A and B are shown apart, each in its own frame.
Chain A
Amino acid sequence: MSILSYLLDHPAQVLALARAHLWISALATGIATAISVPLGIAVHRLRIVRVPALILVSVGQAVPSLALLGLMLPLLGIGFTPALVAIGARALLPILLNTYAGLLTIPPSVVEAARGMGMTNAQILWRIELRLALPVIVAGIRTALVVSIGVATLAAYIGAGGLGDLIFQGIAMVDTPLLLAGAIPAALLAFAVDGLFEILERGLMRPLV
């Protein structure tokens, strides 16, 4: 019996799990982006927000992912929702830090020039600052999504679904073909997402240089 037998015999099941895996990771990263980008702008603009926000996220970052899943248990129980919250929480920091860092790299002279041209504050934010910071923000989203795919694998243990199901089952039953049918596609999924974002980032850099 080949060690890849489960993977080769159940392609439809593995594909469905991979899709569920990508879905929860992408959804969590999407929610994290919607929270972190405005927060990153606030951290850049408002000094009062900066220190508490950065301390909070860096403390949050030190909490291990498995502990995060455990801490969700009394609040949200087991299933898709607590998994989504835990994955999203993990994805916050890279996007927040990169949004802040991206905005920091913009020379003040560029913003002044835009103001001199008569742009409003909203126009400066959308057309100048966010546009120039975009490659760095996207790099943060890339990190967040790769991290999310990793945490989602772990979150299968609390009912997130996805490829982690096969891995945990395979380990528990000492069934090598089963655990490989989860582990290999999970690794490939992370590589694929990472690679796609690398291409996207290159595309974003080009018109700016």
Chain B
Amino acid sequence: MRYLLANAPLIWRLTLDHLQLSAASCLLAIVTACPLGVLVSRVRWLAGPVLSVAGIFYTIPSVALFALLIPVLGLGLKPTVLVLVLYSQLVLIRNTAVGITEVDAALLQAAQGMGMTNSQRFWRVEVPLAIPVIFAGVRTATVMAIGLASIAAYIGAGGLGVLIFQGISTGNTDQVLTGAVAVSILALLADGILASAQRMTRRTMGVRA
């Protein structure tokens, strides 16, 4: 507790860094994964290979994946963002594809019968109905990114992991606990906020889940 009070500004800054890094990576991951998920739901034979490749990255231990990128990208933010993006692809692509594929065929026919064009049907029927499932993936990916970002402190990405690694190596238990509790609170808050947002999308999209 004493450590926390004495270093409040530092901890606050590390928290903001951590949040910024996780959020930016997540946004980047969504931008790459969601179109891939839609593609996979349209071109079915692509699903196997795309998900296998995403699965390979997901299987590699995160510390090893950071290390494997160092010879190519060096230390710091670049390899960190790439690892965070690669790691969350599997869950985001899969949830997008599942969300789109599970839209009731009768609804699609009804949309066509109402005279919707393909793009109207996609944006006004398929996407809204898939949003709750996609959102579940975003929630998992965000919590994962916060956890991975703490590990990335070891390769110079900053954030709250700095306190944990530094504290362990210098035997400063207070520092370790401050970092560990802060990053846990961050992850739990993100999880809680996204969980309630997820419930909200479910309600507003009129999906009975």
Whether the Cβ atoms of B188 and A70 lie closer than 8 Å is no
- Per DSSP, chain B at the interface is helix
Complex Cα spacing A59 to B184, Å: 10
Chain B residues lying within 8 Å of A65, measured Cβ to Cβ, are: 147, 151
Whether the Cβ atoms of A167 and B63 lie closer than 8 Å is yes
Contact string, B55-77, partner A, CB cutoff 8 A, digits 1/0? 01001111111111011000100
Complex Cα spacing A73 to B174, Å: 10
Q: Which segment, of B30-38, B109-117, B130-138, B175-183, faces chain A?
A: B175-183
Complex Cα spacing A24 to B21, Å: 32
The reply to whether the CB of A119 lies closer than 8 angstroms to some CB of chain B is: no
> A153 touches which one: B64, B155, B167, B181 (CB < 8 A)?
B64
The reply to whether the CB of A200 lies closer than 8 angstroms to some CB of chain B is: no
Whether the Cβ atoms of A67 and B183 lie closer than 8 Å is yes
The reply to whether the CB of B173 lies closer than 8 angstroms to some CB of chain A is: yes
Q: How many A residues touch the partner, as a band?
A: 35 or more
The reply to whether the CB of A80 lies closer than 8 angstroms to some CB of chain B is: no
Complex Cα spacing A146 to B62, Å: 11
Complex Cα spacing A150 to B188, Å: 21
Complex Cα spacing A206 to B179, Å: 48
The reply to whether the CB of B54 lies closer than 8 angstroms to some CB of chain A is: no
Q: How far is the CB of B209 from chain A (nearest CB, A)?
A: 16
Complex Cα spacing A3 to B13, Å: 37
Whether the Cβ atoms of B59 and A73 lie closer than 8 Å is no
Whether the Cβ atoms of B173 and A73 lie closer than 8 Å is yes
The reply to whether the CB of B143 lies closer than 8 angstroms to some CB of chain A is: yes
Whether the Cβ atoms of A191 and B150 lie closer than 8 Å is no
Known: A66-B180, A74-B173, A154-B151. A59 touches B188 (CB 8 A): yes
> A64 touches which one: B60, B61, B63, B147 (CB < 8 A)?
B147
Residues of A within 8 A of B (CB): 3, 59, 61-71, 73-74, 78, 146, 149-150, 152-154, 156-158, 163-164, 167-168, 170-171, 176, 179-180, 182-184, 186-187, 190-191, 194
Using A157-B168, A183-B65, A186-B64 as known contacts, list a sample of 19 further A-B pairs with CB atoms less than 8 Å apart, ordered by residue number in A.
Answer: A61-B143, A62-B143, A64-B148, A64-B151, A64-B183, A65-B147, A67-B179, A70-B164, A78-B168, A153-B61, A153-B62, A153-B63, A182-B64, A183-B68, A187-B64, A190-B64, A191-B56, A191-B60, A194-B59
